Structure 1
């Protein structure tokens, strides 16, 4: 037995260590994410790595688009330039393009710890510089004699298309954008300026303006990428926060389940351990106070026996109420419903309370409307509700007061029980307090009335289990009225009407089917 207990203790310690380790790892990861997201330099560096990934992904996706453009340019340029030169240029451009594709593939396949190295940005920049120089060579191809102005216009159109394409591909890395576009613009501008013509001068100025425009466009695309990455970082931050909250809630739920299990075990154990000696105390004290085995010569001993019996009954009632409330809160309290007359239960409770009311000279009035139908309810639970409410009314009603119990139908067809006294009443602001478990009003505390403050909590729970409604109305100095209302669905005639209606509907359907 001791070995099993020690093994269980060791298992519990191991489980707690694993949970603590998971919590520490989660907290450490959340702190890393927060520090990385909170520091501007860290955020910028993280975005650079993300932009490198976008750059490489764009190059891989455009692996066949750029060669197609180069092929079209080479084919059209053959009208003004020798095909041998254009073929050589096309091969060089294709090689430089696929060099960038290979570098991008290598970057995507590289481990995460290697992707953060600066060498990759240098490779991308060098590759784009070579790629831009290969396109710049196109504008240096020797033209045939008598080619005319057509080649100049085609050069300018190719310049705009190639710079736009490189801007879209390299906007995520500004250095790569400059490396892939500046050589082309520089060569075209230099070539146009070598010609002493207003058209060439104009095209050179427009080439410089186009370069500036696409740099601005690239900067805007870069801002859009940063904004997208910021949103993604905020989303990751939110996910980390949600994971943290989920972990905390799981841990809190586990602790709550453990506490609930411990409470259930405690109540199960204590209900037996307390009730067994209490039954003995109540039995022996009752024999002593009733002098069953013979008279007591000392009256003080009899008084002590009465006090012991009264205190034992109070403690037993407290234990029963705590257990009842615990079962209700745990959802383990089951209703044993049957067809009962509500007025019979109320009358029985009134008979039980007459002795206590007579001891305080309290007039107990009972009135109910005739012809009320049976209700479908748990008789024991309903009796407990009525007894608790009538007991409270008698307890807080002063000597010579009165308690009125009324029973009747509600406007919607249900039934209600109203218990009204002319006691001191409850201040309006204290009504929520007395409805809570162990809650007591200021009058009960001042007058030191015997009670646990669980009666109304149990009443509310039992009424709610019957789909009913519990209402309390009170004014200071005028008295208190409590009303228990059962819905019309609890009436037995209501169920009959529903059955009759459904039966009539079924009969109509059968008759219709028969006629069809």
Structure 2
């Protein structure tokens, strides 16, 4: 029962809820794209965001305008003692209060982009109404002031402050400052033409210049804020698309892992089914080739039987390597560990490849550290590692070449086996390919018989199961060196003292 549950649980490795979590992200991406595609109408793309920011700014600075109106009224009464200025102040405060009520209503309303245009017109109308109040202020006169310039200075200061506050608090509402104070400028212009007073001309010029300047500043602020919103929108779009891509990548990776795991399980479980017919083919073809049951009538049949036997052995080796790698990936490669001598394993493996080396006139040299302690390893696996590495060295070394095999201590107290040949070598950019499953170097393929490309991945996997390490060093046309390292935890005896063995220190530095 537990095995069936475990198997079913292992198969469900794809997070099915990921697709549900991706739906809100996909919806956000579509909404952002639609908004960016609406850019043909320019600034109207962000009307809703700009209007919302304008309302927040108006509500946050709600007390500034009333304070200015009260100060202007009090200063005017101190200069002129005209009650009409008090009426003006109350009227202006009332209009400002209506604008705040309108802003609060907009803030409480959930509006669309189309509705934002309507609310913008209402807010702009409120600002124009407030601008007419300042135009009424520009009509104020001071009969009791005589020919003094104090009242003109007072009006200039009040209007400049009003223009600056309106421009800074309403720059999100485009052209609000311009439309609000055009009536004021026109009113001052009419007064100047009627009175022909140079002071009135100067007052009109100063107010008009200030209006143009502050309109330019507010327009620049509006454009900067619009650009910032555009960048923010593009950033949100990119983040949303990245989330979708990441979700799809995770889903694809999980599905690939599921397929790879299913493949590994299938091949690992099919080991017996694949080997049994091949063993029969190999056995019967060997009997026919050896003519155990009598001579074959046709010599060609004997040649065919030999071809069948050789092809079957090649296919069996290929299947064995695939199954070994599949069992490792599926987690079914168990180690049968025992105390073994790495020196003895290396000597036995050298003896196995010695005959093949002699046929190519290759010399295998040995440099073994004497009296190495035993290591705790799986003997079959370590023999497979060394045979794969030695077979590769002999395979890719040309006629009359040399292979050097070293066994000794590592710098960390472990043991290593180094196999170095003087074959064609591997280009640096092809080393990751050679270390991958079914990967082969281009020069090696051309200069020697081809293999399956599974030897080195199996070596890496077996050493990883032993908590070891595999190192490959190669230079083009100079040769290749492979090093299989076992950690100090696998050594059953501590490392001899470095002071008593200077040669060990040199080897430690070479493999540090």
Greater alpha carbon shift after TM alignment, 16-25 vs 242-251: 16-25
Aligned to 2:44: 45
8 Å contact from structure 2 (residues 388, 456) kept in 1: yes
Distance 2:421 2:61 in 1: 88
1:18 to partner: Cα distance: 8.1
Q: 1:178 to 1:367 in 2, by over 3 A?
A: closer
Q: 1:254 to 1:495 in 2, by over 3 A?
A: farther
1:389 to partner: Cα distance: 0.7
Equivalence map 1:295-314=2 (5 Å): 295-299=292-296, 308=308, 310-314=310-314
8 Å contact from structure 1 (residues 286, 305) kept in 2: no
Equivalence map 1:12-31=2 (5 Å): 28-29=30-31, 31=33
Aligned to 1:177: 177
Aligned to 2:10: none
Q: 1:495 to 1:62 in 2, by over 3 A?
A: farther
1:84 to partner: Cα distance: 4.4
Distance 1:205 1:494 in 2: 100
1:388 to partner: Cα distance: 0.5
SS of match in other structure, 1:112: coil
1:434 to partner: Cα distance: 3.8
Aligned to 2:243: 246
Q: 1:458 to 1:64 in 2, by over 3 A?
A: same
Equivalence map 1:124-143=2 (5 Å): 124-141=123-140, 143=142
- How many residues align structurally? 476
Two-structure CA RMSD over aligned residues (Å) = 4.3
Aligned to 2:438: 438
Aligned to 2:344: 344
Q: 1:323 to 1:247 in 2, by over 3 A?
A: farther
Distance 1:183 1:112 in 2: 31
8 Å contact from structure 1 (residues 366, 405) kept in 2: yes
Is it true that 1:78 corresponds to 2:77 in the alignment? yes
Q: 1:265 to 1:220 in 2, by over 3 A?
A: same
Aligned to 1:159: 159
Greater alpha carbon shift after TM alignment, 17-26 vs 149-158: 17-26
1:134 to partner: Cα distance: 1.7
Greater alpha carbon shift after TM alignment, 482-491 vs 344-353: 482-491
Greater alpha carbon shift after TM alignment, 485-494 vs 463-472: 485-494
Distance 1:109 1:55 in 2: 14
Distance 1:334 1:209 in 2: 92
Distance 1:74 1:230 in 2: 39
Give the alignment's TM-score, normalised by structure 2: 0.76
Aligned to 1:407: 407
Q: 1:104 to 1:474 in 2, by over 3 A?
A: closer
Give the alignment's TM-score, normalised by structure 1: 0.75
Greater alpha carbon shift after TM alignment, 159-168 vs 359-368: 359-368
Aligned to 2:265: 268
User: After superposition, what is the alpha-carbon deviation per residue over 1:336-375, rounded to whole angstroms, capped at 9, x for unaligned?
Assistant: 7776543233223234445655677765443302144555
Tell me: higher relative CO, structure 1 or 2? Use CA pairs within 8 A at least 6 residues apart: 2
Q: 1:404 to 1:158 in 2, by over 3 A?
A: closer
Structure 2: runs of 5 or more not aligned:
1-13, 498-512
Structure 1: runs of 5 or more not aligned:
1-11, 498-516
Q: 1:381 to 1:79 in 2, by over 3 A?
A: same
Distance 2:264 2:484 in 1: 29
Q: 1:383 to 1:29 in 2, by over 3 A?
A: farther
Is it true that 1:457 corresponds to 2:448 in the alignment? no
Is it true that 1:208 corresponds to 2:205 in the alignment? yes
Is it true that 1:383 corresponds to 2:386 in the alignment? no
Greater alpha carbon shift after TM alignment, 65-74 vs 362-371: 362-371
Greater alpha carbon shift after TM alignment, 241-250 vs 92-101: 241-250
Is it true that 1:218 corresponds to 2:242 in the alignment? no
User: After superposition, what is the alpha-carbon deviation per residue over 1:381-440, rounded to whole angstroms, capped at 9, x for unaligned?
Assistant: 433321101122333456776644222345676543222446x53464785354443233
Distance 2:267 2:326 in 1: 13
Aligned to 2:3: none
Distance 1:285 1:139 in 2: 113
Distance 1:330 1:207 in 2: 88
Aligned to 1:228: 225
